[in-house]
Chains A and B, each alone.
Chain A
Amino acid sequence: MPDEYEIVYKTYKDLPLSPIAKGKSLVFKTGSWRTMKPKLVLENCKKCGICWKYCPDVSILIVDDYPKIDYNYCKGCGICANECPFDAIVMVEEDSK
Protein backbone atom coordinates (compact mmCIF):
# COMPACT_ATOMS: atom_id res chain seq x y z
CA MET A 1 0.00 0.00 0.00
CA PRO A 2 1.40 3.45 -0.90
CA ASP A 3 2.48 5.61 2.08
CA GLU A 4 0.12 8.44 1.17
CA TYR A 5 -2.80 6.27 2.29
CA GLU A 6 -1.32 5.34 5.68
CA ILE A 7 -2.53 7.08 8.84
CA VAL A 8 0.71 8.76 9.93
CA TYR A 9 0.99 10.19 13.45
CA LYS A 10 3.55 11.06 16.11
CA THR A 11 1.27 11.29 19.13
CA TYR A 12 -2.30 10.09 19.54
CA LYS A 13 -3.35 13.75 19.32
CA ASP A 14 -2.47 13.78 15.60
CA LEU A 15 -4.97 11.01 14.86
CA PRO A 16 -8.34 11.81 13.28
CA LEU A 17 -11.50 11.48 15.39
CA SER A 18 -12.72 8.27 13.75
CA PRO A 19 -10.48 5.46 12.44
CA ILE A 20 -10.65 6.59 8.82
CA ALA A 21 -8.24 6.10 5.93
CA LYS A 22 -8.27 8.00 2.65
CA GLY A 23 -9.41 5.96 -0.32
CA LYS A 24 -8.04 2.82 1.16
CA SER A 25 -10.24 0.28 -0.58
CA LEU A 26 -9.04 1.59 -3.95
CA VAL A 27 -5.47 0.60 -3.19
CA PHE A 28 -5.93 -2.25 -0.72
CA LYS A 29 -6.41 -5.24 -3.02
CA THR A 30 -8.40 -8.08 -1.47
CA GLY A 31 -8.40 -10.61 -4.30
CA SER A 32 -5.38 -12.52 -3.01
CA TRP A 33 -7.51 -14.44 -0.50
CA ARG A 34 -8.98 -16.73 -3.20
CA THR A 35 -8.42 -20.46 -3.50
CA MET A 36 -10.92 -20.85 -6.39
CA LYS A 37 -11.60 -18.29 -9.08
CA PRO A 38 -14.43 -17.77 -11.56
CA LYS A 39 -13.56 -18.26 -15.24
CA LEU A 40 -15.71 -16.88 -18.06
CA VAL A 41 -16.86 -19.16 -20.89
CA LEU A 42 -17.95 -16.30 -23.12
CA GLU A 43 -19.31 -18.46 -25.97
CA ASN A 44 -22.10 -19.55 -23.55
CA CYS A 45 -22.86 -15.98 -22.32
CA LYS A 46 -26.30 -14.51 -23.14
CA LYS A 47 -25.43 -11.06 -21.73
CA CYS A 48 -28.28 -11.36 -19.19
CA GLY A 49 -26.35 -9.64 -16.34
CA ILE A 50 -27.42 -12.11 -13.64
CA CYS A 51 -23.77 -12.57 -12.54
CA TRP A 52 -23.35 -8.78 -12.28
CA LYS A 53 -26.50 -8.52 -10.20
CA TYR A 54 -25.59 -11.35 -7.80
CA CYS A 55 -21.91 -10.58 -7.15
CA PRO A 56 -21.82 -9.51 -3.48
CA ASP A 57 -18.52 -7.66 -3.88
CA VAL A 58 -19.10 -5.60 -7.06
CA SER A 59 -16.35 -7.64 -8.73
CA ILE A 60 -18.20 -8.31 -11.97
CA LEU A 61 -18.23 -5.36 -14.32
CA ILE A 62 -20.11 -5.13 -17.61
CA VAL A 63 -17.76 -4.04 -20.40
CA ASP A 64 -19.15 -3.84 -23.98
CA ASP A 65 -22.25 -5.77 -22.84
CA TYR A 66 -20.20 -8.73 -21.55
CA PRO A 67 -19.15 -9.54 -17.96
CA LYS A 68 -15.58 -8.89 -16.91
CA ILE A 69 -14.23 -10.15 -13.59
CA ASP A 70 -12.22 -7.76 -11.39
CA TYR A 71 -9.74 -10.20 -9.85
CA ASN A 72 -8.34 -7.44 -7.61
CA TYR A 73 -11.41 -7.76 -5.40
CA CYS A 74 -13.11 -11.08 -6.29
CA LYS A 75 -13.00 -13.43 -3.25
CA GLY A 76 -13.86 -16.54 -5.27
CA CYS A 77 -17.16 -17.20 -3.49
CA GLY A 78 -18.63 -18.85 -6.60
CA ILE A 79 -22.07 -17.21 -6.41
CA CYS A 80 -21.80 -15.98 -10.03
CA ALA A 81 -20.98 -19.51 -11.30
CA ASN A 82 -23.82 -20.96 -9.23
CA GLU A 83 -26.37 -18.41 -10.49
CA CYS A 84 -25.43 -18.40 -14.20
CA PRO A 85 -28.15 -20.45 -15.97
CA PHE A 86 -25.97 -20.96 -19.09
CA ASP A 87 -22.71 -22.34 -17.61
CA ALA A 88 -20.91 -19.22 -18.84
CA ILE A 89 -18.95 -19.01 -15.57
CA VAL A 90 -17.10 -21.98 -14.06
CA MET A 91 -14.99 -22.15 -10.91
CA VAL A 92 -11.40 -23.31 -11.34
CA GLU A 93 -8.37 -23.63 -9.05
CA GLU A 94 -6.66 -20.28 -8.44
CA ASP A 95 -3.40 -21.46 -9.99
CA SER A 96 -4.94 -22.99 -13.15
CA LYS A 97 -5.02 -21.12 -16.41
Chain B
Amino acid sequence: MKKVLSGNAAAAYGSKLARAEVISAYPITPQTKIVEKIADLIAVGEFETEFVKVESEHSAMAAAVSASLVGARTFTATSSQGLLLMHEILHWASASRTPIVMVNINRALAPPWSVWADHTDTVAQRDTGWMQFYCESCQEVLDTMLQLYKIAEDKDVMLPAMLSEDAFLLSHTSEIVDMPDQDMVDDFLGSFEPENIMDVDNPMSFGSLSMPHQYFYEFRYKIAEAMEIARSKILEVEKDFEKRFGRSYGGFIDLYRCDDAEIVLVAAGSMSSTIRVAIDELREKGEKIGLARLRVFRPFPIEEFREIAKKAKKIGVLDRSFCFGYEGAFFTEIKSALFDIDERPIVKGYVVGLGGRDVTLDVIHEIIDDCQATTDTRTEPFKWIGLSR
Protein backbone atom coordinates (compact mmCIF):
# COMPACT_ATOMS: atom_id res chain seq x y z
CA MET B 1 0.00 0.00 0.00
CA LYS B 2 1.38 3.42 -0.94
CA LYS B 3 1.06 6.33 1.47
CA VAL B 4 2.35 9.89 1.56
CA LEU B 5 4.51 10.02 4.68
CA SER B 6 7.01 12.40 6.24
CA GLY B 7 10.26 11.02 7.62
CA ASN B 8 8.71 11.31 11.08
CA ALA B 9 5.53 9.45 10.08
CA ALA B 10 7.63 6.77 8.37
CA ALA B 11 9.43 6.20 11.69
CA ALA B 12 6.10 5.95 13.55
CA TYR B 13 4.72 3.45 11.03
CA GLY B 14 8.03 1.58 11.19
CA SER B 15 7.55 1.01 14.92
CA LYS B 16 3.99 -0.17 14.26
CA LEU B 17 4.97 -2.57 11.47
CA ALA B 18 7.78 -3.94 13.67
CA ARG B 19 5.15 -4.43 16.40
CA ALA B 20 7.22 -2.58 19.03
CA GLU B 21 5.77 -3.72 22.36
CA VAL B 22 7.05 -0.87 24.53
CA ILE B 23 7.65 2.71 23.39
CA SER B 24 9.06 5.32 25.76
CA ALA B 25 9.75 8.71 24.26
CA TYR B 26 9.85 12.38 25.14
CA PRO B 27 8.89 14.94 22.50
CA ILE B 28 11.47 17.36 21.09
CA THR B 29 11.49 19.45 17.89
CA PRO B 30 11.73 18.15 15.16
CA GLN B 31 11.03 14.60 16.42
CA THR B 32 7.67 15.53 18.08
CA LYS B 33 5.61 14.29 15.14
CA ILE B 34 6.90 10.74 15.68
CA VAL B 35 5.53 10.70 19.23
CA GLU B 36 2.28 12.38 18.11
CA LYS B 37 1.75 9.94 15.24
CA ILE B 38 2.32 6.95 17.53
CA ALA B 39 -0.16 8.46 20.04
CA ASP B 40 -2.68 8.87 17.18
CA LEU B 41 -2.25 5.28 16.04
CA ILE B 42 -2.78 4.05 19.61
CA ALA B 43 -5.82 6.33 20.11
CA VAL B 44 -7.65 5.02 17.03
CA GLY B 45 -6.89 1.43 17.99
CA GLU B 46 -4.55 0.71 15.09
CA PHE B 47 -1.47 0.13 17.23
CA GLU B 48 -1.40 -2.02 20.35
CA THR B 49 1.67 -1.07 22.36
CA GLU B 50 2.64 0.06 25.85
CA PHE B 51 3.43 3.77 25.55
CA VAL B 52 5.39 5.03 28.57
CA LYS B 53 5.13 8.77 29.18
CA VAL B 54 8.39 9.91 30.71
CA GLU B 55 9.67 13.18 32.15
CA SER B 56 12.96 13.32 30.23
CA GLU B 57 15.03 11.60 27.57
CA HIS B 58 17.27 10.14 30.28
CA SER B 59 14.18 8.38 31.65
CA ALA B 60 12.98 7.47 28.16
CA MET B 61 16.18 5.53 27.52
CA ALA B 62 16.19 4.04 31.04
CA ALA B 63 12.62 2.78 30.49
CA ALA B 64 13.62 1.38 27.10
CA VAL B 65 16.56 -0.54 28.60
CA SER B 66 14.32 -2.01 31.32
CA ALA B 67 11.60 -2.96 28.85
CA SER B 68 14.13 -4.63 26.59
CA LEU B 69 15.59 -6.55 29.54
CA VAL B 70 12.19 -8.09 30.29
CA GLY B 71 12.00 -9.22 26.68
CA ALA B 72 9.94 -6.51 24.98
CA ARG B 73 10.69 -5.21 21.50
CA THR B 74 11.36 -1.54 22.26
CA PHE B 75 11.35 1.73 20.34
CA THR B 76 12.23 5.30 21.21
CA ALA B 77 12.95 8.51 19.31
CA THR B 78 14.72 11.75 20.12
CA SER B 79 16.86 14.54 18.72
CA SER B 80 19.80 16.80 19.53
CA GLN B 81 19.76 17.95 23.19
CA GLY B 82 17.52 14.99 24.01
CA LEU B 83 20.05 12.53 22.62
CA LEU B 84 22.75 14.20 24.71
CA LEU B 85 20.63 13.84 27.84
CA MET B 86 20.37 10.12 27.02
CA HIS B 87 24.12 9.75 26.66
CA GLU B 88 24.74 8.01 29.99
CA ILE B 89 22.00 5.44 29.38
CA LEU B 90 23.15 4.81 25.80
CA HIS B 91 26.17 3.10 27.35
CA TRP B 92 23.89 1.16 29.72
CA ALA B 93 21.83 0.00 26.74
CA SER B 94 24.73 -1.37 24.73
CA ALA B 95 26.57 -2.91 27.69
CA SER B 96 23.31 -4.53 28.92
CA ARG B 97 23.01 -5.89 25.35
CA THR B 98 19.49 -4.52 24.82
CA PRO B 99 18.60 -4.38 21.08
CA ILE B 100 16.63 -1.12 21.28
CA VAL B 101 15.91 0.67 18.01
CA MET B 102 15.92 4.47 18.19
CA VAL B 103 15.28 7.14 15.60
CA ASN B 104 17.26 10.34 16.09
CA ILE B 105 16.44 13.43 14.11
CA ASN B 106 19.83 15.05 13.45
CA ARG B 107 19.60 18.58 14.84
CA ALA B 108 22.26 21.11 15.86
CA LEU B 109 23.35 21.59 19.47
CA ALA B 110 22.96 24.89 21.31
CA PRO B 111 24.11 27.59 21.81
CA PRO B 112 23.00 29.48 19.84
CA TRP B 113 19.68 27.64 19.65
CA SER B 114 19.17 25.90 16.34
CA VAL B 115 16.62 23.26 15.50
CA TRP B 116 18.04 22.57 12.03
CA ALA B 117 20.06 19.78 10.45
CA ASP B 118 23.51 19.00 11.84
CA HIS B 119 25.16 15.63 12.55
CA THR B 120 27.06 16.63 15.70
CA ASP B 121 24.46 15.04 18.00
CA THR B 122 24.90 11.49 16.66
CA VAL B 123 28.60 11.78 15.83
CA ALA B 124 29.11 12.61 19.52
CA GLN B 125 27.52 9.20 20.37
CA ARG B 126 30.05 7.34 18.21
CA ASP B 127 31.67 5.45 21.11
CA THR B 128 28.52 4.37 22.97
CA GLY B 129 28.38 0.86 21.45
CA TRP B 130 25.32 1.63 19.30
CA MET B 131 25.11 0.82 15.61
CA GLN B 132 24.55 4.01 13.61
CA PHE B 133 22.68 4.37 10.30
CA TYR B 134 22.01 7.55 8.28
CA CYS B 135 19.05 7.72 5.89
CA GLU B 136 18.30 9.73 2.75
CA SER B 137 14.60 9.13 2.04
CA CYS B 138 11.34 8.44 3.91
CA GLN B 139 11.15 5.00 2.30
CA GLU B 140 14.66 4.25 3.52
CA VAL B 141 13.66 5.32 7.05
CA LEU B 142 10.79 2.83 7.13
CA ASP B 143 12.78 0.00 5.51
CA THR B 144 15.88 0.58 7.64
CA MET B 145 13.84 0.48 10.85
CA LEU B 146 12.65 -3.01 9.95
CA GLN B 147 16.19 -4.06 9.02
CA LEU B 148 17.56 -2.66 12.30
CA TYR B 149 15.25 -4.77 14.49
CA LYS B 150 16.39 -7.86 12.58
CA ILE B 151 20.11 -6.97 12.91
CA ALA B 152 19.96 -5.74 16.52
CA GLU B 153 17.98 -8.74 17.81
CA ASP B 154 20.21 -11.33 16.13
CA LYS B 155 21.41 -13.57 19.00
CA ASP B 156 25.06 -13.03 18.05
CA VAL B 157 24.64 -9.23 17.87
CA MET B 158 22.21 -8.09 20.60
CA LEU B 159 23.24 -4.44 20.37
CA PRO B 160 21.09 -1.30 20.12
CA ALA B 161 20.83 0.66 16.87
CA MET B 162 20.09 4.28 16.05
CA LEU B 163 18.71 5.55 12.78
CA SER B 164 19.37 9.16 11.84
CA GLU B 165 17.36 11.49 9.65
CA ASP B 166 18.16 15.15 8.96
CA ALA B 167 16.00 17.69 10.80
CA PHE B 168 13.16 19.01 8.62
CA LEU B 169 14.96 18.11 5.37
CA LEU B 170 13.81 14.54 5.94
CA SER B 171 11.78 14.56 9.17
CA HIS B 172 9.23 16.99 7.70
CA THR B 173 9.49 16.17 3.98
CA SER B 174 6.62 14.07 2.68
CA GLU B 175 7.24 11.43 0.05
CA ILE B 176 5.40 8.46 -1.37
CA VAL B 177 6.27 5.47 0.78
CA ASP B 178 5.47 1.88 -0.10
CA MET B 179 4.16 0.35 3.14
CA PRO B 180 4.91 -3.36 3.27
CA ASP B 181 2.11 -5.76 4.26
CA GLN B 182 2.04 -6.61 7.96
CA ASP B 183 2.19 -10.35 7.14
CA MET B 184 5.39 -9.89 5.17
CA VAL B 185 6.98 -7.85 7.96
CA ASP B 186 5.92 -10.42 10.59
CA ASP B 187 7.44 -13.16 8.48
CA PHE B 188 10.67 -11.17 8.01
CA LEU B 189 11.12 -10.12 11.66
CA GLY B 190 9.60 -12.87 13.76
CA SER B 191 9.19 -12.15 17.46
CA PHE B 192 11.84 -10.98 19.92
CA GLU B 193 12.99 -13.95 22.00
CA PRO B 194 16.08 -12.99 24.03
CA GLU B 195 18.06 -15.60 25.95
CA ASN B 196 18.57 -13.62 29.18
CA ILE B 197 15.50 -11.89 30.46
CA MET B 198 14.64 -10.25 33.74
CA ASP B 199 12.23 -12.56 35.50
CA VAL B 200 10.69 -12.13 38.97
CA ASP B 201 10.63 -15.90 39.44
CA ASN B 202 14.37 -16.11 38.82
CA PRO B 203 15.82 -12.94 40.35
CA MET B 204 19.18 -11.66 39.13
CA SER B 205 21.17 -8.47 39.57
CA PHE B 206 21.82 -6.48 36.40
CA GLY B 207 24.85 -4.23 36.13
CA SER B 208 26.42 -5.14 39.46
CA LEU B 209 29.96 -4.21 40.49
CA SER B 210 32.93 -5.80 38.73
CA MET B 211 36.32 -5.49 40.42
CA PRO B 212 39.28 -4.74 38.12
CA HIS B 213 40.46 -8.39 38.18
CA GLN B 214 36.97 -9.77 37.44
CA TYR B 215 35.09 -9.56 34.13
CA PHE B 216 34.58 -5.90 33.10
CA TYR B 217 37.36 -6.09 30.47
CA GLU B 218 35.96 -9.32 29.00
CA PHE B 219 32.44 -7.89 28.77
CA ARG B 220 33.84 -4.98 26.74
CA TYR B 221 35.56 -7.43 24.40
CA LYS B 222 32.24 -9.22 23.90
CA ILE B 223 30.64 -5.96 22.72
CA ALA B 224 33.55 -5.37 20.33
CA GLU B 225 33.12 -8.89 18.98
CA ALA B 226 29.35 -8.47 18.56
CA MET B 227 29.93 -5.25 16.61
CA GLU B 228 32.24 -7.17 14.24
CA ILE B 229 29.62 -9.92 13.81
CA ALA B 230 27.08 -7.17 13.02
CA ARG B 231 29.08 -6.39 9.85
CA SER B 232 28.07 -9.64 8.19
CA LYS B 233 24.53 -9.49 9.59
CA ILE B 234 23.97 -6.02 8.10
CA LEU B 235 24.79 -7.40 4.65
CA GLU B 236 22.79 -10.62 5.20
CA VAL B 237 19.71 -8.71 6.35
CA GLU B 238 20.01 -6.27 3.44
CA LYS B 239 20.02 -9.22 0.98
CA ASP B 240 17.11 -10.92 2.70
CA PHE B 241 15.17 -7.64 2.77
CA GLU B 242 15.79 -7.07 -0.95
CA LYS B 243 14.60 -10.58 -1.78
CA ARG B 244 11.37 -10.09 0.18
CA PHE B 245 10.57 -6.43 -0.43
CA GLY B 246 12.44 -5.58 -3.63
CA ARG B 247 14.36 -2.61 -2.23
CA SER B 248 17.97 -2.26 -1.13
CA TYR B 249 20.32 0.52 -0.10
CA GLY B 250 23.79 -0.90 -0.68
CA GLY B 251 24.43 -2.10 2.87
CA PHE B 252 27.14 0.07 4.39
CA ILE B 253 27.68 2.45 1.50
CA ASP B 254 25.18 3.44 -1.17
CA LEU B 255 27.25 3.88 -4.37
CA TYR B 256 26.03 6.21 -7.13
CA ARG B 257 27.85 6.35 -10.50
CA CYS B 258 31.11 5.26 -8.84
CA ASP B 259 32.22 2.53 -11.28
CA ASP B 260 34.50 4.71 -13.38
CA ALA B 261 34.55 7.75 -11.06
CA GLU B 262 37.84 9.59 -10.63
CA ILE B 263 36.43 11.77 -7.87
CA VAL B 264 34.15 10.19 -5.26
CA LEU B 265 32.29 12.40 -2.81
CA VAL B 266 31.35 10.91 0.57
CA ALA B 267 28.36 12.28 2.46
CA ALA B 268 25.60 11.13 4.81
CA GLY B 269 21.94 12.04 4.99
CA SER B 270 19.79 14.37 2.93
CA MET B 271 22.56 16.30 1.15
CA SER B 272 23.33 13.09 -0.76
CA SER B 273 20.27 13.81 -2.95
CA THR B 274 21.68 17.22 -3.92
CA ILE B 275 25.02 15.60 -4.71
CA ARG B 276 23.28 13.11 -7.04
CA VAL B 277 21.84 16.06 -9.02
CA ALA B 278 25.26 17.74 -9.25
CA ILE B 279 26.83 14.47 -10.41
CA ASP B 280 24.19 14.00 -13.12
CA GLU B 281 24.87 17.54 -14.40
CA LEU B 282 28.63 16.98 -14.55
CA ARG B 283 28.31 13.51 -16.07
CA GLU B 284 26.49 15.19 -19.00
CA LYS B 285 29.74 17.09 -19.56
CA GLY B 286 31.76 13.89 -19.33
CA GLU B 287 33.23 14.47 -15.88
CA LYS B 288 33.73 11.28 -13.92
CA ILE B 289 32.25 12.01 -10.49
CA GLY B 290 30.50 9.58 -8.14
CA LEU B 291 28.86 9.51 -4.71
CA ALA B 292 29.53 7.07 -1.87
CA ARG B 293 26.69 7.75 0.56
CA LEU B 294 27.80 6.72 4.03
CA ARG B 295 24.84 4.77 5.38
CA VAL B 296 26.45 2.99 8.31
CA PHE B 297 28.90 4.82 10.60
CA ARG B 298 29.12 2.09 13.27
CA PRO B 299 30.34 -0.51 12.59
CA PHE B 300 32.59 1.55 10.31
CA PRO B 301 32.84 0.34 6.67
CA ILE B 302 36.62 -0.09 6.52
CA GLU B 303 36.86 -2.64 3.68
CA GLU B 304 34.22 -0.84 1.64
CA PHE B 305 36.22 2.41 1.68
CA ARG B 306 39.39 0.50 0.75
CA GLU B 307 37.55 -0.85 -2.30
CA ILE B 308 36.51 2.68 -3.31
CA ALA B 309 40.11 3.89 -2.82
CA LYS B 310 41.41 1.25 -5.25
CA LYS B 311 39.62 2.94 -8.14
CA ALA B 312 39.13 6.61 -7.20
CA LYS B 313 41.90 9.16 -7.65
CA LYS B 314 40.38 11.60 -5.18
CA ILE B 315 37.87 11.34 -2.35
CA GLY B 316 36.07 14.42 -1.02
CA VAL B 317 34.50 13.91 2.38
CA LEU B 318 31.60 16.13 3.47
CA ASP B 319 31.09 16.42 7.23
CA ARG B 320 27.97 18.01 8.69
CA SER B 321 29.74 18.08 12.06
CA PHE B 322 33.08 19.20 13.39
CA CYS B 323 35.37 17.83 16.09
CA PHE B 324 36.94 20.94 17.60
CA GLY B 325 40.70 20.72 17.75
CA TYR B 326 40.86 18.41 14.73
CA GLU B 327 38.51 18.05 11.75
CA GLY B 328 35.26 16.37 10.63
CA ALA B 329 34.82 12.87 12.08
CA PHE B 330 33.94 11.10 8.80
CA PHE B 331 37.04 12.67 7.23
CA THR B 332 39.30 11.44 10.05
CA GLU B 333 37.90 7.93 10.01
CA ILE B 334 38.03 7.47 6.24
CA LYS B 335 41.68 8.54 6.19
CA SER B 336 42.39 6.15 9.05
CA ALA B 337 40.74 3.25 7.16
CA LEU B 338 42.98 3.94 4.14
CA PHE B 339 46.25 4.26 6.07
CA ASP B 340 47.33 0.65 5.52
CA ILE B 341 46.77 0.41 1.76
CA ASP B 342 49.65 0.82 -0.68
CA GLU B 343 48.35 3.50 -3.00
CA ARG B 344 46.14 6.03 -1.33
CA PRO B 345 44.01 8.50 -3.25
CA ILE B 346 43.99 12.18 -2.27
CA VAL B 347 41.43 12.59 0.51
CA LYS B 348 40.13 16.07 1.27
CA GLY B 349 37.62 17.20 3.89
CA TYR B 350 34.79 19.72 3.64
CA VAL B 351 32.85 21.13 6.59
CA VAL B 352 29.32 22.00 5.49
CA GLY B 353 25.77 22.59 6.67
CA LEU B 354 26.32 23.19 10.39
CA GLY B 355 23.18 24.47 12.14
CA GLY B 356 21.12 23.71 9.03
CA ARG B 357 23.09 26.00 6.68
CA ASP B 358 21.79 25.01 3.23
CA VAL B 359 24.00 22.61 1.31
CA THR B 360 22.98 23.85 -2.13
CA LEU B 361 24.00 22.73 -5.63
CA ASP B 362 26.41 25.69 -5.67
CA VAL B 363 28.08 24.36 -2.50
CA ILE B 364 28.47 20.92 -4.07
CA HIS B 365 29.91 22.37 -7.28
CA GLU B 366 32.36 24.47 -5.26
CA ILE B 367 33.50 21.27 -3.49
CA ILE B 368 33.86 19.35 -6.74
CA ASP B 369 35.84 22.26 -8.29
CA ASP B 370 38.11 22.31 -5.26
CA CYS B 371 38.59 18.53 -5.46
CA GLN B 372 39.53 18.83 -9.12
CA ALA B 373 42.08 21.56 -8.34
CA THR B 374 43.61 19.80 -5.33
CA THR B 375 46.94 18.06 -5.90
CA ASP B 376 48.30 18.15 -2.35
CA THR B 377 46.44 18.16 0.99
CA ARG B 378 49.38 18.79 3.30
CA THR B 379 48.89 22.53 3.68
CA GLU B 380 45.10 22.49 3.69
CA PRO B 381 43.64 19.07 4.55
CA PHE B 382 40.08 20.39 4.83
CA LYS B 383 37.98 23.49 4.17
CA TRP B 384 34.94 25.26 5.65
CA ILE B 385 32.69 25.87 2.64
CA GLY B 386 30.61 29.04 2.39
CA LEU B 387 32.03 30.66 5.54
CA SER B 388 31.49 34.44 5.71
CA ARG B 389 35.02 35.68 6.17
CB of B218 within 8 A of CB of A18, answer no
CB of A19 within 8 A of CB of B203, answer no
Name the one of A9, A12, A18, A28 contacting B96, with C-beta atoms under 8 angstroms.
A18
* A residues near B214, Cβ cutoff 8 Å: 7
Chain A CB within 8 A of B222 CB: yes
Within 8 A of A (CB), among B88-111: 95-97
CB of A19 within 8 A of CB of B219, answer yes
* A residues near B207, Cβ cutoff 8 Å: 19
Which residue of B is nearest A20, CB measured?
B204
* Distance of A15 Cα from B215 Cα, bound (Å): 8
Q: How many residues of chain A are within 8 Å of chain B by beta carbon?
A: 16
A-B contact pairs, 16 of them (CB 8 A): A9-B215, A12-B218, A12-B221, A17-B158, A17-B196, A17-B222, A18-B206, A19-B95, A19-B215, A20-B206, A21-B205, A21-B208, A22-B203, A22-B204, A22-B205, A24-B208
CB of A19 within 8 A of CB of B210, answer yes
CB of A19 within 8 A of CB of B195, answer no
List the count of A-B residue pairs having beta carbons below 8 Å apart.
56
Chain B CB within 8 A of A2 CB: no
Cβ contacts B9-36/A at 8 Å (1 or 0 each)? 0000000000000000000000000000
* B residues near A18, Cβ cutoff 8 Å: 69, 95-97, 196, 206
* B residues near A28, Cβ cutoff 8 Å: 205, 208
Q: How far is the CB of A72 from chain B (nearest CB, A)?
A: 15
* A residues near B158, Cβ cutoff 8 Å: 17
Q: How far is the CB of A1 from chain B (nearest CB, A)?
A: 10
